[in-house]
Amino acid sequence: MNSLDQLSDQFINYLVVEKGLSKNTIAAYSRDLILYLEFLRTNNITNIARSDTTLVLKHLIELRDAGLGPRSRARHLVTLRGFYRFLVQEKILETNPAQMVDLPKAGQKLPDVLKVDDVLRLLDAPDPSKPLGARDSAMLELLYAAGLRVSELTGVRIADINLEACFVRVLGKGSKERVVPIGMAAKERIEAYLASARSALLKGRPSSHLFVTRLAKPMTRQGFWKLLKQYTLKAGISQKITPHTLRHSFATHLLERGADLRSVQVMLGHVDISTTQIYTHVAQERLKEVHTEYHPRG
C-alpha cells in the first residue's frame, strides 16, 4: 500500500491530467486532502485501507466543531468522495467509505446582486479619457456584458475578441471553452481602449493579452479586485461587491428581463442547469420587492 501522501499526489495528478480541473478547484481539493490526511495521522491511521465511514463522519464532526459551515463541509465531503472513488477505480480499495455519508444540509444562500442603476454608476466610474481609465472602463463593461469570471476576464487575449460579430471566446473552468455575446456598449468601450490606450500602456512592448498594465504585463485577478474596490467607492455604492457580484448581476438582470434559463446557463458556462437555477430565486425575490413597494395593497 502506498503512503497517504503518495495516494494524495496520485489523486491530484489525476484531477489535473485527466479531469482538467481549474487551478482554484485543484487548490481547494488539495487543502481538503491535507486536512484529512492530518486527521488520519492524528488517529494513527497510516494505511488508507484502515479508514472507514465512521472516521469520515468523525472528521466532518471535528470540522463542524471547529466552526466550518455546512457549505464548506459539503465541499470537503465531495473531495473525500472523489478521493476514495479514485482509490476504488485504481483497485487500491474495494469500497468508498465516504459514499454513504450524507452531505451537510445548508440553507440556500442567494447570491448578492447589484441593482441596474448601481451597475450603471459603476460602469461610468472610470475616466475613459486616460489610458488606465479606458482600460478599466472596457474591463468592467466586458465583465458585466458577458458575465465572466474574473479569471476569464484577465485571461482574454486579443485573438479571443471578435468586435465585428460582438462576441468573446473564453476559457472557463476545466478548460472548457465557450463563446459569449458582448453587446454594443462593451464593443464600443473595447474599441475605444484599443484605439490608443492599450498601445500607450504597452509602449511598443508585445503582449497577446487584451488587458495589460503599465508594465505591459497581463492584468491579474488581484489587480482587478483593487480597481473594483476603488470604483465602487467612487460610484458611491455602499454594498460590498466582488468581481463575482457583476457575474451574478448579469445572470439575474437577464432573467428579470425574460431570458430563458438554458441560454443563461450556456453564457455562464455552467455544466449543470441546477447551478443556474439559483438566479431564478433572486429574480423572484426582486419581483416581491417591486410588488411590495409599488402595489397599493402591497
Q: 52-91 pLDDT, tens per residue?
A: 888 888 898 888 888 888 888 888 998 999 999 999 999 9
Domain count, the chain: 2
274 and 132 within one domain: yes
Q: Based on the number of CB atoms within 10 Å of its own CB, is 149 exposed (0-12), middle (13-18) or buried (19 or more)?
A: buried
120 and 85 within one domain: no
H-run or E-run covering 114: none
Cell of 76: 470537503
Q: Based on the number of CB atoms within 10 Å of its own CB, is 226 exposed (0-12), middle (13-18) or buried (19 or more)?
A: exposed
Kindly write down the DSSP assignment for every residue of 238-289, as one continuous string.
-S---HHHHHHHHHHHHHHTT--HHHHHHHHT-SSHHHHTHHHHHHHHHHHH
Q: 174-193 pLDDT, tens per residue?
A: 778 899 999 999 999 999 99
172 and 24 within one domain: no
281 is catalytic: no
Name the catalytic one among 73, 135, 149, 248: 149
CATH of the domain at 84: 1.10.150
CA distance 275 to 272: 6
Name the catalytic one among 29, 84, 193, 279: 279
Name the catalytic one among 115, 178, 244, 281: 244
Name the catalytic one among 64, 121, 157, 173: 173
The sign one gets for the Cα dihedral 36, 173, 118, 111 is: negative
| Domain end position, chosen among 54, 70, 89 | 89
Whose CA is closest to 210, among 272, 148, 264?
148
> Structural domain of residue 38, as residue ranges?
4-89
Whose CA is closest to 154, among 200, 96, 206, 217?
217
60 and 123 within one domain: no
218 and 125 within one domain: yes
- Phi, psi of 278, deg, nearest 5: -55, -30
Name the catalytic one among 59, 247, 248, 253: 247
Q: Which residue has the cell 486579443?
A: 158
150 and 77 within one domain: no
279 is catalytic: yes
121 and 73 within one domain: no
The pTM assigned to this predicted structure is 0.63
Residue 101 belongs to some domain of the structure = no
Q: What is the mean pLDDT of the chain?
A: 88
For 26-29, which contacts have Cβ atoms below 8 Å and span 24 or more sequence positions?
Answer: 28/75, 28/79, 29/79, 29/82
CATH of the domain at 239: 1.10.443.10
What's the pLDDT at 296?
Answer: 60
Q: 274-292 pLDDT, tens per residue?
A: 677 677 666 566 556 654 6
Name the catalytic one among 59, 73, 81, 270: 270
Overall average pLDDT of the 98-108 stretch: 69
120 and 264 within one domain: yes
19 is catalytic: no
Overall average pLDDT of the 113-122 stretch: 93
212 and 252 within one domain: yes
Residue 180 belongs to some domain of the structure = yes
74 and 162 within one domain: no
Strand-pair partners of 209: 157
244 is catalytic: yes
